[in-house]
């Protein structure tokens, strides 16, 4: 089941369907998570830089699936807390 949830999280995070989670994908995730409590653009950019610093091993400004797998291994609560509701 964990593999299935990990794949769903990946699928729902790659908004532009290019096989990577890039700047715009992460920005979209942040905007959806914050809802009406929008962050300032500069705060979003700093947050995304921090995410890339922590997870983008090859420093290409996008998160590949293997890099995403490492994120999930380092943060298993992503899997346990992830919920999908219709």
Q: What CATH number is given to the structural domain containing 68?
A: 1.10.238.10
In-domain check, residue 60: yes
pLDDT band at 85 (very low <50, low <70, confident <90, very high): low
What is the domain extent for residue 40?
A: 2-81
Extract the tokens encoding 53. Answer: 């610093």
Instruction: State pLDDT tens for residues 4-20.
Output: 888 989 999 999 999 99
Q: What is the pLDDT of residue 5?
A: 84
In-domain check, residue 86: no
Sign of the torsion angle spanned by Cα atoms 4, 5, 11, 12: positive
In-domain check, residue 21: yes
In-domain check, residue 17: yes
- Number of structural domains (the chain) is 1
In-domain check, residue 19: yes
Instruction: State pLDDT tens for residues 35-76.
Output: 888 899 999 999 999 999 999 999 999 999 999 999 988 888
From CA 56, how far away is CA 68, in angstroms rounded?
A: 9
Q: What is the pLDDT of residue 81?
A: 79
């Amino acid at each position: 089941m964990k593999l299935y949830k990990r794949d769903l999280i990946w699928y729902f995070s790659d908004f532009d369907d290019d096989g990577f989670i890039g700047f715009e994908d992460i920005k979209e995730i942040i905007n959806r998570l914050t809802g009406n409590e929008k962050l300032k653009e500069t705060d979003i950019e700093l947050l995304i830089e921090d995410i890339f610093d922590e997870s983008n091993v090859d420093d290409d400004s996008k998160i590949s699936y293997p890099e995403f797998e490492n994120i999930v291994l380092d943060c298993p609560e992503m899997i346990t807390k992830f919920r999908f509701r219709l």
